[in-house]
């Protein structure tokens, strides 16, 4: 039986809103403070406690009606100047109501006859309304500040959610465009191999399938381990090697400790594809693709070097979708903590370098 009563009491307490808890606690504190000062500095009138309790009860009801009007007028949604005007007007109106009711209560219970003899009824009413106005000003300030803080916090949360949504949409938009441009060339190469080298053709189909699958899955992930990205790049280079044959030389310089580092999916493949398209394919004798992954100065460096020269067209190359998408993804994912540049390092070598923060791998 006792357990059932406890559950009922707990249920009722949980049903009380935050607003009513603040009202109850606030007016209870007002009663406690008033009793403390009156008991400390004077001798309370026998009717003082009854008057104080009824006054605070009226104050609770008056402020609740005032809050209802604030909501009815949608005051907190209006411009600041309008809010200030209405808050002052409501404070004055309800302070007068508060003062009239408290004076009526004191008269009915016969509280403080000394004050009744010392001041006229109009003076007593003025003092009651004046005191009530300051009390309601404090109440309105607390109420307004609370809602201002809550609204600001909600706006910040909404801004964070919106930025997160925009970031996700931008990333998905960027990644949705990252489709291998070599598909038709790869299919033509595979078709040529079907008769002369069926085994290699089957392997090439598997490699192409892996790349397309990774491209489709890229929009579901922000990062993947470097090892996974390298596997796709190796499949891509194997397909391109069918087209370029001996004109394409491939070199890998990968620090094994970097294989678990997270990188944006299809980013390395995009850089290698860019190197093939703007470098190797333009060289009559072909050239070299070198991929480097290493740690340097607490950062993870991912470098793609290829034979060729920028020939003063760096801006045009950087403006291409593959390069611009890399810049955009790094900016969105690492918030300015990653960098990318492409440059001519001399000796007929063009270098694309991505520098990312080192991630802690558990």
Dump pLDDT digits (tens) for 85-130: 888 888 899 989 988 888 888 878 877 655 556 667 777 788 888 8
Of the residues 141, 165, 189, the one at which a domain ends: 165
Task: Kindly report whether the global pTM for this prediction surpasses the value 0.95.
Answer: no
Q: What is the pLDDT of residue 7?
A: 59
Dihedral class, residue 283 (left if φ above 0, else alpha if ψ from -120 to 50, else beta) = beta
* Domain around 283: 177-357
CATH code of the domain in which 263 resides? 3.30.565.10
Same domain, 329 and 190: yes
Query: pLDDT class for 150, splitting at 50, 70, 90?
Result: confident
Average pLDDT value for residue range 289-302? 92
Q: What is the pLDDT of residue 346?
A: 83
Most confident of 14-28, 212-226, 280-294: 280-294
Same domain, 118 and 250: no
Q: Over the chain, what is the mean pLDDT?
A: 79
Query: Does residue 9 sit within a domain?
Result: no
**Percentage of the chain exceeding pLDDT 70:** 78
Give dist(CA 253, CA 133) in Å, integer: 78
Give dist(CA 95, CA 76) in Å, integer: 20
Exposure of 60 in the CB half-sphere (CA atoms within 13 A): 19
Same domain, 228 and 157: no
Same domain, 135 and 205: no
Domain count, the chain: 2
Query: Does residue 12 sit within a domain?
Result: no
Q: β-strands 339-346, 349-357: how paired? A: antiparallel
Task: Determine contact, residues 279/231, Cβ cutoff 8 Å.
Answer: no
Looking at 137-151, 195-209, 336-350, which range is the least confident one? Answer: 195-209
Same domain, 141 and 238: no
Task: Determine contact, residues 186/239, Cβ cutoff 8 Å.
Answer: yes
Query: Does residue 6 sit within a domain?
Result: no
Same domain, 146 and 71: yes
Give dist(CA 271, CA 250) in Å, integer: 14
Q: Indicate the helix (H) or strand (E) that contains 300.
A: strand 299-307
Of the residues 143, 165, 187, the one at which a domain ends: 165
Q: Is the pLDDT of residue 55 over 90?
A: no
HEC letters along 234-268 = HHHHHHHHHHHHHHEEEEEEECHHHCCCEECCCHH
Same domain, 36 and 67: yes
Q: Which position has the higher pLDDT, 173 or 229?
A: 229
Give dist(CA 286, CA 275) in Å, integer: 12
Query: Does residue 153 sit within a domain?
Result: yes
Same domain, 59 and 126: yes
Average pLDDT value for residue range 157-177? 61
Same domain, 200 and 344: yes
Q: Is the pLDDT of residue 168 over 70?
A: no
Query: Does residue 66 sit within a domain?
Result: yes
Query: pLDDT class for 251, splitting at 50, 70, 90?
Result: very high
287-296: strand order across its sheet: 248-254, 287-296, 299-307, 349-357, 339-346
Query: Does residue 96 sit within a domain?
Result: yes
Dihedral class, residue 306 (left if φ above 0, else alpha if ψ from -120 to 50, else beta) = beta
Task: Determine contact, residues 290/305, Cβ cutoff 8 Å.
Answer: yes
Same domain, 182 and 140: no
Q: Is the pLDDT of residue 2 over 60?
A: no
What's 280's DSSP letter?
G
DSSP-assigned letters across all residues of 2-53: HHHHHHHHHHHHHHS-HHHHHHHHHHHHHHHHHHHHHHHHS---TTHHHHHH
Q: What is the pLDDT of residue 227?
A: 92
Query: pLDDT class for 179, splitting at 50, 70, 90?
Result: very low
Query: Does residue 62 sit within a domain?
Result: yes
Same domain, 154 and 28: yes
Task: Determine contact, residues 336/317, Cβ cutoff 8 Å.
Answer: no
Task: Determine contact, residues 280/307, Cβ cutoff 8 Å.
Answer: yes
Q: Is the pLDDT of residue 172 over 60?
A: no
Of the residues 111, 131, 165, the one at which a domain ends: 165
Query: Does residue 2 sit within a domain?
Result: no
Structure tokens at 224: 């993947």
Q: Is the pLDDT of residue 207 over 70?
A: yes
Same domain, 127 and 244: no
Q: Which position has the higher pLDDT, 175 or 307?
A: 307
């Amino acid at each position: 039986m006792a357990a059932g009563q406890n559950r009922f009491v707990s249920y009722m307490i949980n049903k009380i809103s935050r607003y009513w808890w603040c009202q109850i606690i606030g007016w209870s504190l007002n009663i406690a403070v008033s009793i403390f000062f009156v008991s400390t500095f004077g001798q309370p009138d026998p009717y003082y406690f009854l008057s104080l309790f009824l006054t605070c009860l009226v104050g609770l009801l008056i402020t609740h009606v005032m809050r209802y009007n604030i909501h009815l007028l949608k005051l907190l949604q209006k411009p600041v100047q309008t809010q200030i005007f209405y808050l002052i007007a409501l404070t004055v109106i309800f302070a007068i109501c508060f003062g009239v009711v408290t004076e009526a209560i004191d008269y009915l219970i016969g509280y403080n006859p000394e004050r009744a003899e010392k001041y006229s009824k109009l003076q007593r009413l003025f003092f009651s309304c004046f005191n009530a106005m300051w009390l309601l000003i404090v109440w309105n300030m607390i109420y307004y500040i609370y809602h201002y803080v809550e609204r600001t916090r909600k706006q910040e949360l909404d801004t964070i959610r919106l930025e997160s949504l925009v970031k996700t949409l931008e990333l998905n938009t960027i990644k949705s465009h990252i489709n291998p441009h070599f598909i038709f060339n790869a299919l033509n190469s595979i078709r040529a191999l079907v008769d002369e080298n069926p085994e290699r053709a089957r392997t090439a189909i598997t490699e192409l399938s892996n790349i397309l699958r990774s491209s489709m899955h890229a929009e579901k992930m922000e990062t993947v381990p470097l090892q996974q990205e390298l596997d796709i790049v190796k499949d891509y280079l194997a397909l391109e090697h069918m087209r370029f044959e001996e004109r394409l030389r491939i070199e890998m310089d990968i620090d094994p400790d970097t294989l678990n580092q997270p990188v944006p999916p299809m980013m390395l493949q995009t850089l290698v594809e860019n190197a093939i398209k703007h470098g190797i394919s333009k060289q009559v004798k072909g050239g070299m693709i070198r991929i480097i992954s290493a740690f340097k100065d607490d950062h993870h460096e991912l470098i793609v070097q290829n034979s060729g020269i920028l020939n003063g067209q760096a801006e045009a190359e950087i403006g291409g979708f593959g390069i611009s998408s890399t810049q955009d993804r790094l900016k969105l994912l690492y918030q300015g903590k990653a960098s990318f540049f492409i440059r001519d390092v001399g000796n007929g070598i063009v270098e694309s370098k991505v520098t990312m923060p080192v991630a802690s791998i558990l």
